[in-house]
Amino acid sequence: MNFCNQCGETVTHIIPENDNRLRFVCCSCKFIHYQNPNIVAGVLPLIVDSDGVEKVLMCRRAIQPRHGFWTLPAGFMENDETLEEAATRESIEEANLKLGKLRLYMVTSLDYISQVYMMFIGQADNDFSPGIESLETRLFTESEIPWDQLAFPVIKDTLQNYFSDRSELVSQNTQSNQSLGKLSVTDMNSFPVHNSSIRR
């Protein structure tokens, strides 16, 4: 940042009075430009494939950074929307996917890039296709996940937590319809909410 967005004069990088952090402050009108972390909202979409097995939908990135690597639908939350609306919008934009009810699943602070990931989990019909930001969209079982081709560490964490939690839920609940490889709505609500940080 070089110029004040209020009056157009130059800014200086100083700690304002009664503050303890460096801010960009206008040399002329003294306006303080606060900069704060961004939220990335996304979803781990569960879809029953034609073979009756519930799989994870992933997208291969058509944009930088990490062009060509696999990710879950996610992107910057916009003003004037809720977290669920942001995650739903990203799923449509990246995979033309219409999700049902979402459940908050992973909250991850990435302090080294000033981002907080808010990942939901949700079920959807087997109807999707690459949006403009995706080269490819595909369903994966745990063993099929391209673990060495994932876009970001937080995506790996989300997938690992999911398969671990799912395995625990399945072993706890032998009455559910796990023979079909599909989680019930009750199972979905049994997922814990994870809160953690990833440091560089």
Give the binding site for a copy of itself (CB under 8 A).
Answer: 1-11, 18, 21, 24, 33-39, 76-85, 103-104, 107, 109, 111-112, 114, 116, 118, 132, 193, 195, 197
How far CA 107 is from CA of 21, 92, 119, 147, in Å, comes to 25, 21, 6, 21
> How far apart are CB 52 and a copy of itself at their closest, in Å?
30
Parallel, antiparallel, or unpaired for β 115-124 and 99-110? antiparallel
Residue corresponding to tokens 């449509």: 92
> How far apart are CB 69 and a copy of itself at their closest, in Å?
21
Cross-strand pairs, 147: none
Residue corresponding to tokens 């942001």: 86
Query: How far is 60 from 111, CA to CA, in rounded Å?
Result: 25
> How far apart are CB 77 and a copy of itself at their closest, in Å?
5
The residue (of 84 and 157) whose beta carbon lies closer to a copy of itself is: 84
> How far apart are CB 57 and a copy of itself at their closest, in Å?
22
The residue (of 10 and 149) whose beta carbon lies closer to a copy of itself is: 10
